[in-house]
Structures are given as structure tokens and as C-alpha cells.
Structure 1
Amino acid sequence: MFDDLDTDRRPLVLVWEVTQACELACRHCRADARPARDPDELTTEEGKRLLREAADFGDGQLVVLSGGDPLAREDLLELVEYGTDLGNRMTVTPSGTRSLTPDRVRELADAGVRRMALSLDGATVGSHDAFRGEASFADTVAAAEAARDAGLPLQINTTVCAETVDELPAIRDRVRELGAVLWSVFFLVPVGRGRVLDPVSPERAEAVMEWLHGVDEAEQFGVKTTEAPFYRRVGIRNDRADAARRGGITAGRGFAFVSHVGEVYPSGFLPESAGNVRERSVVDVYRNADLFADLRDPGKLTGKCGACEFKHVCGGSRSRAYAHAGDPLASDPLCPYVPEGYDGPLPGDGGSLPDGSSGDGTEPSGRA
């Protein structure tokens, strides 16, 4: 009998990038999305086989249908219904476009979608649309309101970089107003179009983590970080007793990503393939591929992440380590913490933004 939450045997989150097609051309897009669908995308039948394999991980496997924009696939509702019938918990991350009408939102809910995630990278029309390079704020807010009306739980995803960090308090207010159940705060990894954006400095990131813990305590919605697992280290060091229990997911350890053409990556932000679902079961790849096994072994980490006493509950962003050093087991350059007694090499400074830490952790302000 196996532990149902044993990340050596199953991912807590399995993302399938059903397409890279999207009407938007956001400046930070990991997928470098484009308007047209790739003719080599997994077909409907191949997708259904993937969903059957996902169900083999165990009852209630969480499957996220992402993109691009999943709505670009005509078979999206069919895939949601099929996955739901298999017992998978199906969620979807559509783009905020005019195609995401209230009727489409209701159809997704009726098909069995358990949660919908929308991206909000600014609190106003001007800031959100400027960051995304497209007019999507109004469509995103309308879709969020439609989700509330349909009784569909809503998650808001926000990218943290030099351009957006000062907007976080105002975005928090929007998350509250929209009735979201979870705010997923993603710290930029320089892949895809995101290579041209400036990340925050490690010190600024630490201050944002402190602030986010305060938000989590004060708000009705939950807060989680993406590609910033040292959020847990910050919580533990500040005596937040539940910090070590939250998430615990990093690339390849509780998380797997299947690309639109079937490549299995530890994360969409760590594009090193461990196999292809057209040739090998996603269950086999996740459990047995050397890359995934190495990423689940904290003893394989190098640099200050390898020496860190928090490596079992944090482990650093493997995606960011790969983007910066070409080695998914290297240190995460965004984390400023240096373990006591460590005198080895340190990663780079993590970005060109000057240290803008607020110092008191109350608001991620722009003051030095």
C-alpha cells in the first residue's frame, strides 16, 4: 500500500499544455505562444490516452489543462468531460480573451472543471494591459465574474518581476474583490519571452515573501508561490508552524508537465525532456526517468541549496537554476539565504533590479 501523496510515485500536479496557440502575445509568455495551432499537437485520442495514464497515478489526480490558450482546441470540453469521468480533478487556465465568454465559462463548469485560473498582472486596465501587451484586463475581469456566477472556484495567477512588484498590494485587493479562492504568485523564470524582463533582486524577493505570509494570514483566499519555494523557508524562520506542510512541490518533485507535442518535463519552465508520452507512459517517466529521480533527491542538490538545512522543505527553484546555470541541481539565484558555515560559490544576483526591499515586510514598496 502506497501513500497517496507520495511524490516519488505521483505528481500532486500534472500540467498538460494542450496547445501553444493563443490570441495574446504576452511579454512574459513561457510558451512563446502564437496564433495558429501546431499540427503536431497531441490529438484528441492521444490526449485521452494521457488522461487515462494520469488516472493510473491514483484517484483524484489533479490535471491542469494549460496553454497557450486551451480554448483554442475545439475538443477542450470533450477532454474535460473524459478526464472527469476517469476520476481526475480537471482544472483549466484559459487566456483572458473575448472568446472566454460567460457562456464558455458555464460550459467549462458543466463539463466538470473543478477550478479555473486566470492571470492578472496589474490591478488596472493600464498596468495589466501594458504588461501583457494586449487589451485583456476587461476580458479577464469579466471571466472572473462569470466564474463566480457559475459557482466555479477561481484562482488568480500573478507574475512578479521588476515591472509588476509595486502593483502587488493593489492586485491583492483585486483578488479579494473577485472572490478568488487562491492567489498563485509566480516569480519570474527567464524562459520564453520572459527572458527580456527584469526579475526582482533576491533581497526584494525575500521582502515580498514576508509580505505574502501576512496576506495569507489576513485574507480569506489562500496564497501560494510558484517557482519560489523558499516561501516555506521564510515562513518556518518566522515561526509559521504550517509553512513546512504547504505545497512542498518543485519541478519533478510533485510536479510534471506534458508539452503540446507530448514531451514530459519536470516543469514548463524547465524544458529538459525525460521522455515523450507517444512512446512512454507519463507514469513511467515520472517514476523512473533519471532526471525526475535526481530532482526528487535533495542530496543531489549542489552549491548553497545542497548545503541548506531547508532543502527538504524548499529545495529552491530547479527551473530558475536550470535557466541560469544550465544545471537543474544548481543553486536558486533568487534566494538570498546563505546557510551558516557555507563558504562555497554563490549564484548570480538574480536580476538587474537594484535592491528595493521595504525593510519591514509590510508592503513590497519601491523604496530602497
Structure 2
Amino acid sequence: MSTARAIRHQRHDAAQRPFIVIWESTRACPLACLHCRAEAVPDRDPRELDTAAARELLGQVADFGRPAPLFVITGGDPFQRPDLTELIAHGRSVGVRVAVSPSGTPTLTDERLRAVHAAGAVGISLSLDGSTPGLHDTFRGVPGVYDWTLDAWDTARALGMKVQINTTVTRHNLHDLPDTVRLVADHGAMLWSAFFLVPTGRGRALGALTADEVEDVLNFVYDMGSTVPAKTTEAHHFRRVAVQRRILARTGDDHVAVLGLGPLYRELSGRAAELGLVRGERRVRRPPLDVNAGRGFVFVSHTGTVHPSGFLPLGAGNVRRTPLTEIYRASELFTALRDPDRLGGRCGRCEFRRVCGGSRSRAYGTTGDPYAEEPWCGYVPGSFPHQRELAQLPAGAGEDASGEERRAEHA
């Protein structure tokens, strides 16, 4: 694989159609997660898109053309909607692949999993924020969530469903990440996603990681990609890391020394080795996909407001009044976010800005400016020692996301 192929690019023009559409079907959820973006509540909001409006939304997604973007039904807890299976089946009938991202609650039963599978859901994503009940349940705010999640995971796998496991990376589980990966390897998953917290919703109260800690974790996730299929969410500089590590492997340089990795990386690597997770290149690495807020990604709220990301609370219109295709393709907010020349600070000067772009959600959550530099990235533009190698990264180069990988990306 060349350096250019260290990153996968979307098969279609990201200015014309998104790779993925996330729909917050409801904010109702019995959990009390410490990081909750939606600040979920026990009861459904009467302003939610009803069944007819949700069916219309699925039609708007289909209007992007075939193959349609992947449509992910999330929440809150989507099982709070009695029309969930009806909407999954409708999506299938109009040519839209639908995945579900349920909460680990008592609603996550074998019967309901079988129902969404029978309706045509292509997969589910589940959250696992610690390798033990104590870690996970404390973070989710309700005892028993860990066991419900593992039971649902095993059931979904037995049904033949694709399962993505999402882990929110915060201070509470930094040192537990290798043990979480061990669980992913043992139970089996199509994908493990390390989600880096964005300070929005209840997540504002959780402590931020330092840029050095983030760099250590990103390199650890890269290492784990040889054991389990791994990606990141809201850590777009993982694409920079993937390029750097590809180059350093080819030149024979010590990535720890060149990238200045610290004690957290050494600790995580040591624990991974103890758990038998590091045994050379056991599988082909999955190159990260070039997707960012408004560039291949779109979020529709429970009331129909369209955002570039669920973690970037700037609205660009509402699907009740304006088609999603029009909002995505032509709104000022979305078109501006797709322009790397709008980026400020270090992101605007960075040689990796076209394959990274930083988290626009975290920039906004931290500074109030969606174009500000990524606050959890410590990279100094121009400091990577193999600048000539980066000439292999022209805009638009790289592997395309295959159909199978399109189905895989449901978080």
C-alpha cells in the first residue's frame, strides 16, 4: 500500500452526497450517561418526527441517489419508538440501508434484536466504555448496562448481524483500553471505534485529555488495527497518524522517538502485549475514511433540524421545510465546512489539513468557532521529518470505500 492509500476516500463526491446520515429518532432514554450529547430524558418529545415525517426523511435520503447513504437510527434509545421496525422495513423498500444504534437498556432484548434483524437492519452499534461492569455501568449511570450490552452483542452476532463497538475515551477508562480491545477480539466485532469526547451536552462536565495523551491513544488505536478492525470518531487526526506511521514503517524509523510518544503509549502498549494483542501484523489494517462534519457526514435531530454532526449544534435547516439533499449540498454552513481554506490556527497551516481537518465539533465546543484549530491536537505544522513523502497525498487520492465498508460505517 502506498502512502496515498493510507487513507480511504469516499467513492462519490462528498459535496453531492454524504457517506452516512445519522438520525436522532428520539431523546427518550432511561440511562444517565455522563457524556450524553443529547442530555437524554425519560419521555419522548411531542415535537419528534412522527412516522410519516420519518418515512419522508428516508425518501429524502434515497434522493441522494444509488447507492444511498447509510442511514443510522440512534437516540436516546431508538427502541422507545414503536415504529422502529416499520421504518427499517420502509428504508429497505426505498433502497436505503438502515443500521440501529440502541442504548444498553432493558429494551435491548433478544426479541427486539430479532425484530430489527427481520425488518432488514444491516447492523447495530453498541457502546462499551469499560471492560468491567464497574467501569461501564458507572459511566452509563445505571447498574446492569454492561451485562445487557454483552448479551445483546452475543445475540446480534449469533443472528449474523454486523456489530460495531463504540468506546468513549475519557479519563475514566484511559488505562483500561487494552482490556476493552481484548473483549472486542474475544466476542468478535466488525469494527471497534474509539470515540474522543466532545464538550457538548453532559460531556462538558468531563475533564479534557491533553494533546499528548490523545497522541498516545491514537497511536495505540493504530497498533490495535493489526488485531481488530479499528477506527476513531471525532479524532480526525487519526488520519495524520495513519499516514505518519505508514511512512515511518517504510523508512525504518522508530515511531515512538520520531512522534515523541509518551508514558501513556508505553503503558497501553505494554498492557496490550500482556493480553496477547500484539503479535505482529495479524490482519490487514483498515485505512481510516476521509469523513468530517458536513463532508460525508450529516446529522438530523429528533425535531428534524439538520446539523453537520451531532456534536456540532449549528443548524442549517429543517427537513420538514427543506429537502435534506438541498441542505447538504447548498447550505452556507455545509459548503463552508467542506472548504479547508476556511480552517484557522495550526489546522489552517497544516500540511495534513486536507486529509484531516480536525474535529470541527470539538473546535466549536471549546472556542465557539467551528473553523478554529483542533484543540486536542499538538502537532506542529511542518515538523514531520519526511515531508517529501507527503507529496503522495494529493487531494482525492487513496482507496475508495467499498460497498462492504459502506455498510460497516454505522457510528
**TM-score higher than 0.5:** yes
Between the aligned partners of 1:308 and 1:278, the Cα distance in structure 2 is 39
Give the Å deviation of 1:177. 1.7
Q: Which of 29, 42, 48 matches 1:41?
A: 48
Give the Å deviation of 1:243. 8.8
Q: Which of 348, 351, 358 matches 1:316?
A: 358
C-alpha change, 1:337 and 1:305, in structure 2 (3 Å) is same
Aligned to 2:403: none
Give the Å deviation of 1:163. 1.2
Aligned to 2:393: none
Between the aligned partners of 1:10 and 1:63, the Cα distance in structure 2 is 13
Whether the 8 Å CA contact 2:238–2:288 is kept in 1: the answer is no
C-alpha change, 1:197 and 1:83, in structure 2 (3 Å) is same
Aligned to 1:18: 25
Q: CA-to-partner distance for each residue in 1:75-109, whole Å, 9 max, x for gaps? A: 00000000111111100100011111111111111
Runs of at least 5 residues in structure 1 that lack an aligned partner in the other structure: 342-368
Aligned to 2:62: 55
Give the ranges of 4+ consecutive aligned residues of structure 1 lying more than 3 Å apart after TM superposition: 240-245
Between the aligned partners of 1:89 and 1:222, the Cα distance in structure 2 is 21
Between the aligned partners of 2:343 and 2:103, the Cα distance in structure 1 is 35
Whether the 8 Å CA contact 1:232–1:244 is kept in 2: the answer is no
Between the aligned partners of 2:25 and 2:141, the Cα distance in structure 1 is 23
Q: Which of 149, 161, 185 matches 1:176?
A: 185
Q: Secondary structure at the match of 1:235?
A: helix
Whether the 8 Å CA contact 1:253–1:296 is kept in 2: the answer is yes
Between the aligned partners of 2:124 and 2:332, the Cα distance in structure 1 is 33
Matches within 5 A, 1:45-194: 45-60=52-67, 61-135=69-143, 136-194=145-203
Between the aligned partners of 1:200 and 1:58, the Cα distance in structure 2 is 40
C-alpha change, 1:56 and 1:299, in structure 2 (3 Å) is same
Q: Is 1:253 aligned with 2:260?
A: no
Letter in 1 for 2:181: R
Between the aligned partners of 2:78 and 2:340, the Cα distance in structure 1 is 34
Q: Secondary structure at the match of 1:239?
A: helix
Q: Secondary structure at the match of 1:33?
A: coil
Letter in 2 for 1:45: A
C-alpha change, 1:23 and 1:244, in structure 2 (3 Å) is closer
Whether the 8 Å CA contact 1:232–1:314 is kept in 2: the answer is yes
Letter in 1 for 2:96: N
Letter in 1 for 2:192: W
Give the Å deviation of 1:133. 1.3
Give the Å deviation of 1:340. 2.7
Structure with a larger share of its residues in helix: 2
Q: Secondary structure at the match of 2:292?
A: coil
Give the Å deviation of 1:132. 1.3
Whether the 8 Å CA contact 1:252–1:266 is kept in 2: the answer is yes
Aligned to 2:7: none
Q: CA-to-partner distance for each residue in 1:232-289, whole Å, 9 max, x for gaps? A: 1011111269999621111111100000000000000001000000110011000000
Between the aligned partners of 2:220 and 2:88, the Cα distance in structure 1 is 36
Q: Which has the bigger relative contact order, CA under 8 A and spacing at least 6?
A: 2
Q: Which of 365, 379, 382 matches 1:337?
A: 379
Q: Secondary structure at the match of 1:16?
A: strand
Letter in 1 for 2:342: K
Between the aligned partners of 2:190 and 2:245, the Cα distance in structure 1 is 24
Whether the 8 Å CA contact 2:358–2:373 is kept in 1: the answer is yes
Between the aligned partners of 2:24 and 2:18, the Cα distance in structure 1 is 16
Q: Count the aligned residue pairs.
A: 337
Q: Secondary structure at the match of 1:292?
A: helix
Between the aligned partners of 2:115 and 2:78, the Cα distance in structure 1 is 14
Between the aligned partners of 2:242 and 2:330, the Cα distance in structure 1 is 32
Whether the 8 Å CA contact 2:169–2:195 is kept in 1: the answer is yes
Q: CA-to-partner distance for each residue in 1:170-228, whole Å, 9 max, x for gaps? A: 110111122111001100001001111112211011011111111002x2x31110000
Q: How large is the RMSD of aligned CA atoms in angstroms?
A: 1.5
Runs of at least 5 residues in structure 2 that lack an aligned partner in the other structure: 1-9, 251-283, 384-411
Aligned to 2:306: 264
Letter in 2 for 1:144: W
Between the aligned partners of 1:138 and 1:205, the Cα distance in structure 2 is 29
Whether the 8 Å CA contact 2:229–2:286 is kept in 1: the answer is no
Whether the 8 Å CA contact 1:160–1:200 is kept in 2: the answer is no
Between the aligned partners of 1:5 and 1:84, the Cα distance in structure 2 is 21
Bigger drift between 224-233 and 241-250 goes to: 241-250
Q: Is 1:212 aligned with 2:254?
A: no
Between the aligned partners of 1:144 and 1:244, the Cα distance in structure 2 is 22
% identical equivalent positions: 48
Q: Secondary structure at the match of 2:23?
A: strand
Matches within 5 A, 1:226-245: 226-239=233-246
Between the aligned partners of 2:207 and 2:164, the Cα distance in structure 1 is 25
Between the aligned partners of 1:245 and 1:23, the Cα distance in structure 2 is 36
Between the aligned partners of 1:128 and 1:190, the Cα distance in structure 2 is 20
Aligned to 1:355: none
Whether the 8 Å CA contact 2:351–2:382 is kept in 1: the answer is no
